[in-house]
Amino acid sequence: MTTCSAPGKVYLFGEHAVVYGEPAVPCAIERRARVTAEPREDGRVRVEAADLSLDGFTVTWGDGTDDHPDIDAPTPLVEAGMGYVNEAVEQARDAADAPEVGFDVTVESDIPLGAGLGSSAAVVAAGIDAGTRSLGVELPPEEIADRAYRAEYEVQDGQASRADTFCSTMGGAVRVEGADCRTIDAPELPLVVGYDGGAGDTGKLVAGVRALRDEYEFAADTVAAIGDVVREGTEVLREADPDGEADPDLLAELGRLMNFDHGLLSALGVSSRSLDAMVWAARDADAHGAKLTGAGGGGCIVALDETGGTETALDYTPGCERSFRAELATEGVRVEEP
């Protein structure tokens, strides 16, 4: 039995545009998904997920492609969650050259599902690492990141960038531009997350942006403008002292760019009333900046605020279910119990 964990993430900049080859900067945060894998000889896969911000549920399915999981809480989110676990299992089997092996899988996560914090990437990265290690195979992080990307790509019908999976696997702040993925230095950032209790449908939201981009040149320009914001943000981060706390001027500049990014994402139709309400609550509380994070449609915003003002304001914002401060997770995927 092996347990591995991987962190969730927020996008400082660049979601959606990253799908079209523009750069993005996600940052891993100290909210983790833990996956335990225990090989079984009958080829079946049994998944237990005690806490995915849903009531507990248990799923068992076989190794035949026609088998449907028997889920005791049939929600689309649970089914989507199972798709990710299934693909992680496939990747682990392939990497360990053990196509017939089954697994008992337990998932525990303190990352809300489908809310823009990279829950699926964390489950997939931790699942591949736990699955392969339980078979005595240790993969280098780059391979885990690549396989996690391929797993997400399968589940999301090709609508996936490498950003979430690379960030969750490597930890820290990363810059992703197409297949060029690298970790970057970042100062300590005072990240605050607001969560509306909901979720967006990543596939639909990505398809919506794609349709706008195909139809209107100005929508394509909007996507390209997000890329410009990210390039500017990367320069700002490069000038910061990576070992210290970010100074107020730097935070002001990053915040201004985050606000700009949110405006462009709103123009592309991926914000929502509750996300906008939380963004404005953060700005009214004098946050340096705020934006939605991830696919949008519902879920989370991220703000920069070293004071307690944004958290308090979010707690009083109708539509905000909870808020929390998010520490940068310097470690990516890791073994919890060998």
Q: Which residues are catalytic?
A: 164
Alpha-helix residue ranges (DSSP H) falling in the chain: 76-95, 119-134, 141-155, 163-170, 202-215, 217-239, 248-267, 273-284, 309-315
- Give the one residue of 15, 87, 90, 253 binding ligand PMV; rule: CB under 6 A: 15
Closest residue to ligand PMV, Cβ-based? 294
Q: For residues 43 and 98, is the Cβ–Cβ distance under 8 A?
A: no
3-state secondary structure of 139: coil
CA dihedral of 214, 215, 217, 220, whole degrees rounded to 10: -40
Q: Nearest distance from residue 164's CB to ligand PMV, in Å?
A: 5
For ligand PMV, which stretch binds (CB under 6 A), given 10-18, 101-109, 124-132, 185-193?
10-18
Please, what is the minimum distance in Å from the beta carbon of residue 170 to ligand PMV? Answer: 16
Q: Which two tokens stand for residue 279?
A: 């963004």
* Of 273, 266, 316, nearest in space to 291 by CA: 266
When the beta carbons of 161 and 234 are compared against ligand PMV, the nearer one is 161
Distance of CA 315 to the CA centre of its chain: 23
Shortest Å, Cβ 55 to ligand PMV: 22
The amino acid present at 241, given as its one-letter code, is: D
Stretch that binds ligand PMV, among 16-24, 75-83, 94-102, 133-141 (CB under 6 A): 16-24
Amino acid letter at 37? A
Nearer to ligand PMV, 43 or 203 (CB): 203
Residue 22 sits in the site that holds ligand PMV (CB under 6 A) = no
Of 206 and 287, CB closest to ligand PMV: 206
Residue 116 Cβ vs ligand PMV, minimum distance, rounded to whole Å: 4
Residue partners of 337: CB distance under 8 A and separation at least 6: 1, 2, 3, 36
- Please report, to the nearest 10 degrees, the dihedral formed by the alpha carbons of residues 270, 261, 229, 222 taken in order: 40
**Which residues from 125-184 bind ligand PMV, rule CB under 6 A?**
160-161, 163-164
Q: Which residues in the 67-126 window bind ligand PMV by CB under 6 A?
A: 116, 118
Could you tell me the two tokens for 260? 């700009």
The structure tokens 């240790």 sit at 138
**Contact present, 163 and 174 (Cβ < 8 Å):** yes
In angstroms, give the least distance from the CB of 163 to ligand PMV: 5
| Total residues binding ligand PMV (CB under 6 A) | 14
Q: Report how far residue 173's alpha carbon sits from residue 137's, in angstroms, rounded to the nearest whole number.
A: 27
Q: Does residue number 202 form part of the binding site for ligand PMV (CB under 6 A)? A: yes
Site string for ligand PMV, 276-315 (x = CB under 6 A): ------------------xx--------------------
Among 16, 34, 46, 283, binds ligand PMV (CB under 6 A): 16
Name the residues that contact ligand PMV, by CB under 6 A: 15-16, 18-19, 116, 118, 160-161, 163-164, 202, 206, 294-295
